[in-house]
A = this chain, B = another copy of it.
Amino acid sequence: MSNIRLTYFDFDGGRGEPIRLALSIAGIEFEDRRITFKDFPSLLSTFPLGCIPILEMDGETWTQCNALLRYFGKKAGLYPEDPWQAYLCDEILDIMEDVSDAIGKTFGLEGEALKQGREAVAAGMFSKALSLLDKRLQAAGGEYFADKQLSIADLKVFEWARMLGAGFLDHVPTDLVQQVAPAINEHMQRIADEPGVKAYYEKRA
């Protein structure tokens, strides 16, 4: 594969970051095109559905972060072959999209409205999702979400938990993961030490 360009916002998180990570673990060369929030509106018409990430490959523009993550996750050996284990992985990916949609609705809000919106998401969808993630992780053995090995589900949850802990989202408590789902907090710390993840962030540093 060659001539791959991934376009996403210029921060190490969100819907694009797990794809960057999977591409890196798969050893696939790609152009990591990063755009600013400020430039986004002027580029909007070049995104087929008006959102990013998008991936350009073989002269075409491809959409949908989880579909892309699954494709490159397979290349990286990070996706289960067994249909039920694949479901366990897929459920997590789509739970994280629910989470992204919920917080997405607060972007653009300001002042007290932003505070109230973010607090509602933290107490609502974020906490519901964390409880379910916690339950799924325990049921899967406590270490990985599927197949007893690293998968794209671990990468996706890791990126989100990492972002929350770093205080990326104003008005969302940085210890929310620790408070609601301690097992997910430990999971995050463990995934950070996975060789492929560590190598990626050492290169980024």
**Is the CB–CB distance between A94 and B48 below 8 Å?**
no
Q: What is the number of residues of chain A that contact chain B, defined by CB distance less than 8 Å?
A: 35
Q: Does A63 contact B (CB under 8 A)?
A: yes
Q: Does A75 contact B (CB under 8 A)?
A: yes
**Is the CB–CB distance between B67 and A90 below 8 Å?**
yes
Contacts A49-B98, A129-B49 known; A93 to B67 CB distance under 8 Å? yes
Task: Summarize A's interface: helix, strand, loop or mixed.
Answer: helix
Whole-angstrom CA separation of A65 from B94 in the bound complex = 9
A87 to chain B, nearest CB (A): 4
**Is the CB–CB distance between B63 and A90 below 8 Å?**
no
Chain B contacts of A48 at CB under 8 A? 128, 131-132
Which single residue of chain B is at the shortest CB-CB distance from A128? B49
**Is the CB–CB distance between A71 and B97 below 8 Å?**
no
Q: Does A68 contact B (CB under 8 A)?
A: yes
List 6 tightest A-B contacts by C-beta distance, closest first: A67-B90, A64-B94, A71-B87, A67-B91, A64-B91, A74-B83
